[in-house]
């Protein structure tokens, strides 16, 4: 019997009725972990010793889930998908994972990510490349590639994830599932490996908006160990889902969504944007107003550069303790300087080293004002622009990227001209710490695509309410990946 393709509430009902036991679910999730791990390389560690627990009135009790391998887990290998930590076993557990454990959730594996969360392809983890379960010749995106692959494949109903640029929301779109990044600090980052501290968000990947709300309600909370966390006890995401959305207002950005802005558009991009416009018409049937707005294209085109400068600079600082002395296997050398040099040279991937070089360069005294401080200034301009939109609109609704999952062989992806802003606009959600959720909204070329809703800080209930209502009319809730091709 297959049960792990069900929602959290459905599984809870089965457990309470005694139709299945927690151990039954754990055994099924472990079996699927090995199957999906062998097929798509989604996991760093499978916890074969995991056991079922007592089922309580807590919705998550007794239900298996996955943990992205940049969340610290006491006594369980936690690598960040990096050779530098390939043998690291923490002595403490991340606060958000502790919060899930208190509710009886059962972790069954640790999922692959791009090394230390620095990447958007799912290809740089030290255990290998994560394949997309809809089409193994394509990416899951990243960095939360393993979590997205596992949830989409029906291993369990949810997995934790993290998002510093779009690392929850783009994998969700590529894998046909839901990805939710709540307001910055709503979930404690204590125990999450820091990449870019001002951009890092904890979050979740699920197959429905309601499951995402259930899990984040359990993960969130103020934490004295994270000075950026805040009291969200007044926020009840699940209870807010059913509110009436009549009269709510959404906007989309012409410069990103109008096909006339892409004179070299491929058929795939045309179909993706047409699908989005068709969805907007359905959204209006809910009584939601949808309006087109304009944002300076120069500002939109700066998004990717701002992200590179700020994220890489913060990463360089955060990873300065990765020396092979404090953490990681020591390298042989005649002095500590060469020991550190050998460790970082041999154990970091080329992608990580490239980011460190850029981060160090923009932080040099002679470059800091030109690059780092200017990036911060443009970040503020972008955040201010979105906050102006939130004065009138409940959320910004936009398509995720330029279409379905990209090929590993990039030469197979058709060039669409200048689409940088369309590919990278989700990063604004990290610049401002805004709540942001991706839901599946259709298929292009037989592969899933998604839309994104982003709202103002602390307005998570409203954003998730809108996402829930839109999800209800689209028909993609709870879908399990079906391998369609290997082109």
Name the active-site residue from 72, 153, 162, 167.
167
Q: 406: which DSSP letter?
A: P
Q: Which of 68, 110, 181, 456 is catalytic?
A: 68
Q: Give the span between the Cα atoms of 170 and 176, in whole angstroms.
A: 10
Point out the catalytic residue in the list 61, 72, 81, 143. Answer: 143
The answer to whether residue 68 is catalytic is yes
User: Can 411 be counted among the known catalytic residues?
Assistant: no
Burial of 56: CB neighbours in 10 Å, binned 0-12, 13-18, 19+: middle
Strand order, beta sheet including 289-293: 43-46, 106-111, 64-68, 158-163, 201-206, 178-181, 436-444, 447-454, 395-399, 249-253, 289-293
- For residues 132 and 148, give the distance between their C-alpha atoms in angstroms, rounded to a whole number: 9
Q: How far apart are CA 154 and CA 59, in angstroms?
A: 18
143 noted as active-site residue: yes
Rounded to an integer, what distance in angstroms lies between the CA atom of residue 130 and that of residue 117?
14
140 touches 130 (CB < 8 A): yes
> Residue 405 gets which letter from DSSP?
P
Q: Distance between CA atoms of 171 and 152, rounded to whole angstroms?
A: 10
Specify the residue for token string 């807590």: 58
How far apart CA 188 and CA 194 sit, in angstroms, is: 12
What are 452's strand-pairing partners?
A: 398, 438
Active site residues: 68, 143, 167
């Amino acid at each position: 019997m297959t049960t792990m393709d069900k929602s959290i509430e459905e599984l809870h009902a089965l457990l309470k009725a005694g139709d299945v036991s927690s151990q039954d679910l754990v055994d099924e999730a472990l079996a699927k972990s090995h199957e999906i791990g062998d097929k798509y390389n989604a996991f760093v560690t499978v916890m074969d010793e995991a056991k079922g627990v007592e089922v309580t009135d807590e919705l998550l009790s007794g239900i298996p889930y996955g943990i992205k391998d940049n969340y610290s887990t006491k006594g369980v290998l936690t690598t960040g998908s990096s050779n530098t930590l390939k043998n690291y076993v923490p002595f403490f557990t991340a606060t958000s994972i502790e919060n899930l454990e208190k509710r009886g959730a059962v972790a069954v594996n640790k999922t692959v990510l791009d090394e230390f969360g620095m990447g958007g392809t799912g290809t740089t983890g030290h255990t290998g490349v994560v394949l997309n379960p809809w089409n193994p010749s394509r990416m899951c995106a990243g960095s939360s590639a393993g979590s997205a692959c596992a949830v989409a494949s029906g291993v369990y109903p949810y997995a934790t994830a993290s998002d510093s640029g779009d690392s929850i929301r783009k994998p969700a779109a590529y894998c046909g599932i839901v990805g939710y990044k709540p307001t910055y600090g709503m979930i404690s980052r204590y125990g999450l490996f820091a990449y870019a501290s001002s951009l890092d968000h904890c979050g979740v990947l699920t197959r429905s908006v309601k499951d995402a709300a259930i899990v984040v309600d359990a993960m969130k909370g103020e934490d004295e160990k994270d000075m950026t966390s805040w009291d969200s006890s007044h926020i009840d995401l699940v209870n807010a889902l059913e509110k009436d959305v009549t009269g709510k207002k959404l906007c989309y950005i012409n410069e990103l969504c109008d096909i006339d802005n892409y004179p070299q558009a491929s058929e795939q991009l045309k179909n993706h944007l047409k699908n989005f416009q068709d969805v907007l018409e359905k959204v209006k049937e809910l009584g939601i107003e949808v309006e087109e707005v304009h944002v300076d294209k120069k500002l939109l085109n700066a998004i990717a550069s701002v992200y590179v400068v700020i994220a890489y600079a913060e990463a360089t600082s955060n990873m300065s303790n990765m020396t092979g002395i404090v953490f990681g296997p020591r390298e042989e050398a005649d002095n500590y300087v060469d020991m550190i040099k050998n460790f970082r040279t041999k154990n970091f991937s080329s992608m990580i080293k490239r980011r460190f070089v850029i981060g160090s360069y923009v932080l040099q005294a002679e470059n800091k004002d030109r690059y780092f401080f200017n990036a911060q200034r443009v970040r503020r301009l972008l955040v201010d622009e979105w906050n102006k939109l939130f004065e009138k609109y409940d959320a910004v609704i936009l398509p995720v990227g330029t279409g379905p999952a990209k090929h590993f062989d990039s030469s197979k992806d058709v060039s669409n001209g200048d689409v940088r802003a369309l590919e990278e606009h989700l990063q604004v959600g990290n610049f401002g710490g805004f709540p942001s959720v991706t839901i599946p909204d259709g298929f292009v070329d037989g592969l899933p695509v998604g839309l994104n809703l982003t709202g103002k800080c602390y307005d998570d209930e409203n954003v998730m309410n809108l996402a829930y209502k839109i999800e209800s009319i689209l028909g993609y809730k709870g879908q399990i990946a079906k391998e369609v091709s290997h082109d």
